[in-house]
Chain A
Amino acid sequence: MSLAILVVLVLGILGGMYMPVGITAFLDQASTVMLLILLFSVGIDLGLNRQVFEQVRKLGFRILLIPLGVILGSLCGGALAAVITQTKIKEGMAIVSGLGWYSLSGILLTNAGNPIGGTISFLSNVFREMITFIVIPFLVKYLNPYCAIAPAGATAMDTTLAMISKHTDGKTAVIAFVSGVICTLIVPVLIPLFL
C-alpha cells in the first residue's frame, strides 16, 4: 500500500508539473471534495467500532495513557524539530498533529494558506508510517510492547495494526487498535488548534 501511495503521489506531482494549468487548477480544487468523501468513508469505519468504548471500560481507563503519550510525545517532537529547522513552534506542532494520518494533515495546512507547511506535514506523516513499519520489532525487543504502539499514532487502527499484532500479543493489538481509533478521532480537533 505504501508503494502504491508513493507511485500515485509521484504521478500526481508529474501531472501537476506538466498538465495544462486549467486541469491542475481543477484537480487542486477537487482535492478538498475528495477529502470530504474520504472522511465520510472513514467516519463510517470509525462508527462501526462501537466495541472500542467497551474495550476502554474493560481494560481500564489507564490505557488512555497510551494515546495521551502519543499525542504529547508527537507535539514535543514537532516543537523540537521546529526549533531545529527554524520553523514557528505552532507550525511545527501542526505538522506533526496528523499523528500519521497523512491524507488529512497536509491538506488542512495547505488549505489554511500554507502550501509549504502542508507539503512538509503530508510527507512527514507518510514517512512516519514507513518508520513505524521499520522500528516496531526493535521497540518490542528493547523497550516494551506498548512502545510498539507509540510510533503508529492514528495508523494503529489500520495500516500498521497487522505489524503490531505480529510482533506483540492479542491484548497489545487490541490496545493498539483502541489507541489508533482515539488518535484518529483527536486529529481533526488537534490540527486546527495550531493553524
Chain B
Amino acid sequence: MWKIFMVLTLGFLIGFFDLLKEKQIKINCRLQTLWLLLLIFCMGVSIGRDGEVIGNLPVLGGKALLFAILAVVGSVVFVFMLSRLFLKKEEEE
C-alpha cells in the first residue's frame, strides 16, 4: 500500500513543481493510455487464470452492475440533497 502513496506523491510533486517540459507532459499523457491498457490486459489475465473467478463471471458481472447502479443512485441522491440545501442560493443569484 505504501508503494502506491509513494509513486502517487512522487508524480504529484513532479507535476506540482513543474519539473517537466510541455513536450514531456504530452508524452506522459500518451504513455498513460498505454499503461492503462497494459494494466487492463494484465487484470484480464488475472480474471481469466483464476478458475473460481472465471467460472462465476456472469454472476460477478451481475453483482458488479448492481453495485454500480446503487453507487450512482446514492451519489445522485446525496449530491441532489446537498446542492438543494446549501448551493441553492448561488443558483438564484
* A residues in contact (CB < 8 Å) with B: 4-5, 8-19, 21, 24-25, 27-28, 30-31, 34-50, 62-63, 65-66, 68-70, 72-78, 80-81, 84-85, 87, 92, 95-96, 103, 106-108, 110, 115-116, 118-128, 131-132, 135, 139, 143-144, 146-147, 149-151, 153, 188, 192
B76, A143: Cβ atoms under 8 Å? Answer: yes
Cross-interface CB contact of B72 among A66, A143, A150, cutoff 8 Å? A150
CA distance A21 to B83 in the complex (A): 52
| Residues in chain B near residue A66, CB distance under 8 A | 79, 82-83
CA distance A9 to B48 in the complex (A): 10
Interface residues on B, range: 35 or more
B76, A15: Cβ atoms under 8 Å? Answer: no
Which B36-93 residues have C-beta < 8 A from chain A? Answer: 36-50, 52-54, 56-57, 60-61, 63-84, 86-87, 90-91
A39, B29: Cβ atoms under 8 Å? Answer: no
A95, B67: Cβ atoms under 8 Å? Answer: yes
B12, A77: Cβ atoms under 8 Å? Answer: no
B12, A73: Cβ atoms under 8 Å? Answer: no
B5, A12: Cβ atoms under 8 Å? Answer: no
| Residues in chain A near residue B56, CB distance under 8 A | 116
B73, A44: Cβ atoms under 8 Å? Answer: no
Cross-interface CB contact of A16 among B1, B49, B81, B91, cutoff 8 Å? B49
A13, B76: Cβ atoms under 8 Å? Answer: no
Interface centre among A47, A48, A78, A122 (most CB of B within 10 A): A47
CA distance A133 to B81 in the complex (A): 22
Question: Besides the contacts A107-B43, A123-B60, A123-B65, what 4 more A-B pairs have beta carbons closer than 8 Å?
Answer: A13-B45, A37-B35, A84-B66, A103-B43
Cross-interface CB contact of A43 among B7, B29, B48, cutoff 8 Å? B7
Known contacts A21-B49, A69-B75; A144 and B80 CB within 8 A of each other = yes
Contact sample, A vs B, 22 pairs, CB 8 Å cutoff: A12-B47, A13-B44, A16-B54, A24-B49, A27-B45, A35-B4, A36-B3, A39-B7, A40-B7, A42-B11, A46-B8, A47-B13, A47-B14, A47-B16, A69-B75, A73-B73, A84-B66, A85-B67, A106-B43, A121-B64, A147-B83, A153-B75
B67, A81: Cβ atoms under 8 Å? Answer: yes
| Smallest CB separation, A7 vs chain B (Å) | 9
CA distance A16 to B53 in the complex (A): 11
